[in-house]
Amino acid sequence: MRKGDQTVVFDAPPVIISAAAVAGKMEGEGPLANDFDMIVSDDKMGEESWDMAEAKLQETAVELALKKAGADPEDINYLFAGDLQNQCAAAHYGLRDTGIPFFGLYGACSTMTESLSLGAMVTGAGFSAKTLCATSSHFCTAEKQFRTPLNYGGQRTPSSQWTVTASGAALLAPRGNGPRITSVTTGRIIDRGVTDANNMGAAMAPAAIDTIAAHFRDTGLRPEYYDLILTGDLGIVGSAILCELIMEEGFDISAVHNDCGKMIFNIDEQDVHAGGSGCGCCASVLCGSIYNGLCGGKYKRVLVTATGALMNTVALGQGESIPAIAHAVAIEI
Amino acid sequence: MRKGDQTVVFDAPPVIISAAAVAGKMEGEGPLANDFDMIVSDDKMGEESWDMAEAKLQETAVELALKKAGADPEDINYLFAGDLQNQCAAAHYGLRDTGIPFFGLYGACSTMTESLSLGAMVTGAGFSAKTLCATSSHFCTAEKQFRTPLNYGGQRTPSSQWTVTASGAALLAPRGNGPRITSVTTGRIIDRGVTDANNMGAAMAPAAIDTIAAHFRDTGLRPEYYDLILTGDLGIVGSAILCELIMEEGFDISAVHNDCGKMIFNIDEQDVHAGGSGCGCCASVLCGSIYNGLCGGKYKRVLVTATGALMNTVALGQGESIPAIAHAVAIEI
């Protein structure tokens, strides 16, 4: 690794040997429904609170990823996970019974690629024989924690996004069949002064630009190397900013760019305004549709860049702006 | 790494080339005062809120660790950090201007050894030439977030602990002068059903037992190998539980055990009940007193095990118990 370089290119790329995606009812009515391993009929999942429902969602995704690989929790050396709940409660309560050595992450909606980045590094280095990476989000936990009580019924602005109720989990190994993580580009915290909590796409787009441009500079690759340059949850507003402003860095990604927040819903019909968001948005799209597309030959090379907004409600209430981050993971087969 | 093993022993142990500790006023009146690099006279650090004061604390510790090593932010490949504030706001706001590729962690009060564990792995694997690990806590941000408004004046129970106002940062490199991280043992989430938020020591002690016992089983070492087996913030109550119950695992650590929460304050005189707590407790004791003791010949082999309680106020309010975790890092010179 060179000074100033943000990218690790693996000599022995770790393999994603299985992936699982669990989605909520509304996500299960969207265009990616066929790629989810499970669509829940009740977003409360039989739990007494939304918070514990999200924990159950994450637990279920991890169980399914293990099952699909024929692996047991005792086979797993590390579990990297986190979520948007205060103190990452969904991961802690959902995964506490696994007994797997656990690293808790907070990367907001960038958590899926943060966990894959660290999971790929410990697996690629030979420190782990099997590594799980997971995250989740839930519309109801996010809404009540970050915005307003669920039954308040406030108007949503056109730039606002709909937090996805879903979870995704991926299982990495040094060898095996499946798509390989060939490189990871780690993001820096970028804050361009956006203070509008109802326009996360605009707050996070500069972080995506910074990381994707760093990826191309560090690797010497060009956008056309990839079949798909996928962002996590920039939505319609943030995606437009990304595609326009990254041109100034000398990279035109518009022909191959898409965004999980735009893909997961029928935006015109499902009343989600600027698209989906939340850790579970990138997690469930990547571990469902994209993973299946890689395994099935639809994609050969995908650069996944999940973005996260790193504020909390206290800081925003005190007039602070929104720092953001994006982590990129290149997946090839 | 073997199946079921929680420990990585490094072939080429990464070196802690510098460390810095910044402490609040009350911590600066305690017995470890001489080992802090800076003691702040005003716990608000000139900021308008306690939240931003904690951010400033973490920023200052990182700057000092860089300065002591003669390093610039551009020299650093990765920064691992987190804290107790909702969505880890102290790290995000305090470190957003560093421009260093950033991995956000949530391990509650285990964050210092979580960051050192991951920092040691990416550095030991050759993915990073220089890696920063940092965390912080602040009495006022923790009290208002987890318990009651600061001016409420509720009675504190004898088992309660005093959240330390402090930050610590450590800089790792593959080579250099200084103590080396020889192994890391990663904790599992352990929940023994404790629901008393005023008795964190009891909630976290089972996690410390699980991880320390795993360390000895994985490495074949015995407690007497170490000059010091240090826990993060079990305080008086949790330390007693640890030393008694780990005997059942076949390990008597009582002759070499101490706890940062017991060390940082004059417990009888400073009205802190069961001792200090918070991410900044282990961080400032380790990056101050212990690091200096290793460099100065007082210690040769130290096993540091910071412990974290992984609940949030919502889960506790819903009647949930407190999951906990502990990560161990062996440091030798």
List all residues of chain A from 302 to 321 with a beta carbon under 8 Å from chain B: 310-315, 318, 320
Structure tokens at A268: 């015109």
* Of A71, A69, A106, A112, nearest in space to A86 by CA: A106
- Any bridge partners for residue B16, and if so which? B172
- Find the CB nearest A85 among B49, B127, B312: B312
Helix (H, G, I), strand (E, B) or coil at A306: strand
Q: Is residue A78 part of a domain?
A: yes
Q: Which domain holds residue B157?
A: 7-173
Contact A101 B6 (CB under 8 A): yes
Q: Is residue A1 part of a domain?
A: no
Minimum distance, in Å, between the CA of residue B22 and any CA atom of chain A: 23
Note whether B168 and B189 are same-domain residues.
Answer: no
Note whether B116 and B59 are same-domain residues.
Answer: yes
Percent of chain A with pLDDT over 70: 99
What integer pLDDT is reported at residue B154 of this predicted model?
82
- A313 confidence band (pLDDT: 50, 70, 90): very high
Domain boundary pick from B146, B173, B200: B173
Neighbours of B184 (CB within 10 A): 25
Closest residue in A to B91 (Cα–Cα)? A310
Query: Which uninterrupted H or E stretch holds A281?
Result: helix A279-285
Which residues from A are below 8 Å from B108, CB to CB?
A: 87
Q: Is residue B1 part of a domain?
A: no
* Of B280, B229, B233, B284, nearest in space to B31 by CA: B284
Q: Is residue B270 part of a domain?
A: yes
Note whether A233 and A161 are same-domain residues.
Answer: no
Contact B318 A121 (CB under 8 A): no
Rounded-to-integer distance, Cα A311 and Cα B92, Å: 8
Domain boundary pick from A124, A148, A173: A173
Rounded-to-integer distance, Cα A57 and Cα A288, Å: 15
Query: Is the CB of residue A5 less than 8 Å away from at least one CB of chain B?
Result: yes
What integer pLDDT is reported at residue A273 of this predicted model?
94
**What phi and psi, each to the nearest 5 degrees, are found at residue B282?**
-65, -40
Which residues from B are below 8 Å from A315, CB to CB?
A: 51, 89, 93
Q: Is residue B233 part of a domain?
A: yes
Which residues from B are below 8 Å from A75, CB to CB?
A: 3
Rounded-to-integer distance, Cα B109 and Cα B308, Å: 4
Count how many Cα atoms sit within 13 Å of the Cα of residue A326 in the half-sphere of its side chain.
Answer: 31
Which residues from A are below 8 Å from B101, CB to CB?
A: 6, 186-188
What integer pLDDT is reported at residue B214 of this predicted model?
98
Q: Which amino acid is at B194?
A: V
pLDDT at A19 over 80: yes
- Find the CB nearest A187 among B8, B82, B102: B102
Render each residue's pLDDT in chain B as its tens digit; 333 residues.
Answer: 555 699 999 999 999 999 999 999 999 999 999 999 999 999 999 999 999 999 999 999 999 999 999 999 999 999 999 999 999 999 999 999 999 999 999 999 999 999 999 999 999 999 999 999 999 999 999 999 999 898 898 888 999 999 999 999 999 999 999 999 999 999 999 999 999 989 999 999 999 999 999 999 999 999 999 999 999 999 999 999 999 999 999 999 999 999 999 999 999 999 999 999 999 999 999 999 999 999 999 999 999 999 999 999 999 999 999 999 999 999 999
- A153 confidence band (pLDDT: 50, 70, 90): confident
Rounded-to-integer distance, Cα B169 and Cα A16, Å: 34
Note whether B43 and B147 are same-domain residues.
Answer: yes
Looking at residue B186, which CATH number applies to its domain?
Answer: 3.40.47.40
Which residues from A are below 8 Å from B212, CB to CB?
A: none
Only one residue has tokens 């005190």, namely: A318
Note whether B34 and B162 are same-domain residues.
Answer: yes
Query: Which uninterrupted H or E stretch holds B212?
Result: helix B200-219
Note whether A114 and A22 are same-domain residues.
Answer: yes
What integer pLDDT is reported at residue B155 of this predicted model?
86
pTM assigned to the model: 0.98
* Tens digit of each residue's pLDDT (9 = 90 or more) over A238-279: 999 999 999 999 999 999 999 999 999 999 999 999 999 999
Q: Is residue A70 part of a domain?
A: yes
Note whether A217 and A96 are same-domain residues.
Answer: no
Note whether B219 and B151 are same-domain residues.
Answer: no
Note whether B18 and B56 are same-domain residues.
Answer: yes
Rounded-to-integer distance, Cα B146 and Cα B105, Å: 19
What integer pLDDT is reported at residue A155 of this predicted model?
86
Note whether A57 and A194 are same-domain residues.
Answer: no
Closest residue in A to B322 (Cα–Cα)? A93
List all residues of chain B from 174 to 213 with a beta carbon under 8 Å from chain A: 186-191
Q: Is residue B85 part of a domain?
A: yes
* Tens digit of each residue's pLDDT (9 = 90 or more) over A166-208: 999 999 999 999 999 999 999 999 999 999 989 999 999 999 9
- A3 confidence band (pLDDT: 50, 70, 90): low
Domain boundary pick from A146, A173, A200: A173
Domain count across chain B: 2
Q: Is residue B319 part of a domain?
A: yes
Note whether A13 and A111 are same-domain residues.
Answer: yes
Note whether A157 and A242 are same-domain residues.
Answer: no
